[in-house]
Chain A
Amino acid sequence: MTLRVKDLKVYYQTLRGDVHALDGVTFDLADGEIMGLAGESGCGKSTLGKSLIRLDSRMRHVGGSIELDGKDLPIADDDAMVPFRYHEISLIPQYAMSALNPTRKIGRMINELLRARGLRPADIAEELERRLELVGLDTDVLNRFPIELSGGMKQRVVMVMSTLLNPSLLIADEATSALDVSTQRSVAESMVEFRDRGYVKSMVFVTHDISLVYQMADTIMVMYAGRIAEKASTSTIINNPQHPYTQMLISALPEVGSTAEETRLEGIPGTPPGLLHPPTGCRFKDRCPMAFSKCNEQPPLLEIEPGHWAACWKTG
């Protein structure tokens, strides 16, 4: 088991009080698993991704633990996390364009990064070139500035950089959302290839685009208002979701080939609750057509069949 997150709570500190962005999140990630993390904006998916690598100054670790390869991650202690970052846990940020230093050539930037982590660039140079070729880049990019590369090329450079030390866990936060569809496909396919070759052990792919994770992920976890709604294998989430929120979310997605005349899709009425003072009980109850009196109590996340977890009184 690569990653084991138990009852993780991370709050944002604001002048008006704590925003409960992650409120008791529990899940496991197996070796070699690519997990798609999906949900609406403000559901805590990016917060979860960030919590696994670095809490920024507004984020506070309130409770819960994270275990990676059997070792506890000291996420609340910024300095103690340093040895883990890049070696064990790595990140592909959303905008690769802003992740690269515009004043350095790519090759120099990578060397600086490796030296900062206490490694000799010469030891890794060969591997670096091999991986650049694998993602379809010429090794010539090392002598270029970021401005000379297209968006897709930059995203691939960042992907190679992030995974150069074979981390156990890679967090990709909307890594392909800013790309055109054809580039998106090739970047997403290279990520799966990296997993297959063992360059990364497992991956959390944060996205709002469920049809993209359907293409590449093994499992999908759907979050709602700081909590997990459902986690299951990709085909189960898409074809046989159990949580009412997942069901409504999947049925609201237009597909290539569907038209408004044939089947009119419906959105989910209402808006997600504010997390400054989150409601008690199930957080989806106000928008849920199946809500009943018991929803005033918080439903536990239960394994309703092997590998399929859902937090709803109706599924338990």
Chain B
Amino acid sequence: MLELDRVHKVYRVGAFGGGRLRAVRDVSLTVKPGEVVSLIGESGSGKSTIGKMVLGLFRPTSGRITVEGTDITTIKGFAARKEYYRKVQGVFQDPFSCFNPIFKADRVFEMIRSSYFPGVSDADWRDKVLAAVGTVRLDPENVLNKYPHQLSGGQLQRLLIARALLLDIKLLVADEIISMLDASTRIDVLNLLGDLKERGLGILFVTHDLSLGNYVSDTSVILRKGAIAEMGPTLRVFDNPLHPYSRHLLSCVPQLHRTWAEVDAELAANPPEDVTLPTVAEDDDSAPLLEAEEGHFVGIDQG
């Protein structure tokens, strides 16, 4: 459904835009319906840039992004873009700043109605909202007709997901949606993503936290400096990390029940299988992937 084909993004930086910063380098990946793909990376890895390009907020410098076969850079004009957002929606990190504190929180639903469903009757619309709120496992009595400050971060975040569900979306870009939530509500939002996946939604889950990426996703993509370091089925990537950077990341994540020293020992006891990482020439900006085992790719080592 979503396909990225050799996408590059270069930002112009500096006072006169003379500098170049390569944020995304030769990234190709796909998200199928009913699949959660985690983009995992540290700051500056390009993970959010990819999410924003998929949402059409930035244009890729080169390469193609297609959704259901349509190249999204060819979508021009207000009406066509509006149609695109009927299929693809994003939810972002900070739910508190997504709501206008002057209005009630469920105004976000009304805004969807006025721009996308002007012909729907009040009763039908109410049913639709109740269904969406029920899907995100919120009690309508607790959340409708309330102001944003009366709701918790987890509730606001789920309202935003419910808002996206009012449109019959095919793809959800979830950019760090749980990093601002408390541990006790975080897991509810994660479980919700799992439920949505069952309904056939494709989800691009952007995160810096390996344990969260691991919990929901089918496919994990580990990014380093804009390029893919390792990509494959989540279980394979975490059980058998092949790229030195993935192993380094895994050794640094604080885990419950296992100390850093234990993880270090474990990784040292299981040296990676003998894989030769692909290499590129100094001035070549491509980032080839090598298929180490079926569906499990490793990328270049950028030191």
Name A residues whose Cβ lies closer than 8 Å to a Cβ of B.
40-41, 151, 180-182, 184-185, 188-189, 208-212, 214-215, 238-239, 248-250, 252-260, 264-268, 271
Question: What is the 8 Å Cβ interface bit string for chain B, positions 175-204, against chain A (1 contact, 0 not)?
Answer: 000000011111110110010000000000
Contacts of B256 in A (CB 8 A): 210-211, 214, 238, 250, 253, 255
B255, CB-defined interface residue at 8 Å: yes
Q: CA of A238 to CA of B259 in the docked complex: distance in angstroms?
A: 12
The A interface is mostly helix, strand or loop, or mixed, namely: loop
Q: CA of A209 to CA of B183 in the docked complex: distance in angstroms?
A: 8
The residue from A181, A238, A239 contacting B249, defined by CB atoms under 8 A apart: A181
**Closest-CB distance, A248 to chain B (whole angstroms):** 7
B254 touches A212 (CB 8 A): yes
The residue from A181, A257, A260, A271 contacting B252, defined by CB atoms under 8 A apart: A181
B76, CB-defined interface residue at 8 Å: no
B215 touches A258 (CB 8 A): yes
B183 touches A181 (CB 8 A): no
Known: A184-B252, A210-B256, A271-B152. A257 touches B182 (CB 8 A): no
Q: How many A-B residue pairs have CB under 8 A?
A: 114
Taking CB as reference atom, which chain A residue is nearest B251? A185
B216, CB-defined interface residue at 8 Å: yes
Q: CA of A19 to CA of B116 in the docked complex: distance in angstroms?
A: 43
A214 touches B184 (CB 8 A): no
Q: How large is the interface on B (under 10, 10 to 19, 20 to 34, 35 or more residues)?
A: 35 or more
25 cross-chain CB contacts under 8 A: A41-B153, A41-B182, A151-B43, A181-B253, A181-B254, A182-B248, A182-B252, A184-B254, A185-B252, A185-B260, A189-B260, A208-B182, A210-B256, A211-B256, A215-B259, A238-B257, A254-B190, A254-B211, A254-B212, A255-B211, A260-B190, A266-B187, A266-B188, A267-B185, A267-B186
Question: What is the 8 Å Cβ interface bit string for chain B, positions 197-221, against chain A (1 contact, 0 not)?
Answer: 0000000000010111011100000
The residue from B42, B153, B235 contacting A180, defined by CB atoms under 8 A apart: B42
Among A210, A249, A250, A260, find the residue whose CB has the most chain B CB atoms closer than 10 A. Answer: A260
A185 touches B42 (CB 8 A): no
Closest 10 CB pairs of A and B: A254-B215, A268-B184, A180-B42, A267-B188, A40-B182, A185-B252, A211-B254, A212-B254, A267-B187, A260-B194
Q: CA of A185 to CA of B261 in the docked complex: distance in angstroms?
A: 11
Q: CA of A185 to CA of B252 in the docked complex: distance in angstroms?
A: 6
Q: CA of A265 to CA of B245 in the docked complex: distance in angstroms?
A: 29
B187 touches A254 (CB 8 A): yes
Contacts of B260 in A (CB 8 A): 185, 189, 215
B210 touches A181 (CB 8 A): yes
B234, CB-defined interface residue at 8 Å: yes
A40 touches B42 (CB 8 A): no
Among B183, B215, B250, find the residue whose CB has the most chain A CB atoms closer than 10 A. Answer: B183
Residues of B232-285 contacting chain A, CB below 8 A: 234-235, 238, 248-257, 259-260
Q: CA of A265 to CA of B189 in the docked complex: distance in angstroms?
A: 11
Contacts of B255 in A (CB 8 A): 211, 214, 255-256
Q: CA of A215 to CA of B190 in the docked complex: distance in angstroms?
A: 24
The residue from B187, B235, B252 contacting A259, defined by CB atoms under 8 A apart: B235
A265 touches B183 (CB 8 A): no
Taking CB as reference atom, which chain B residue is nearest A209? B254
A257 touches B183 (CB 8 A): no
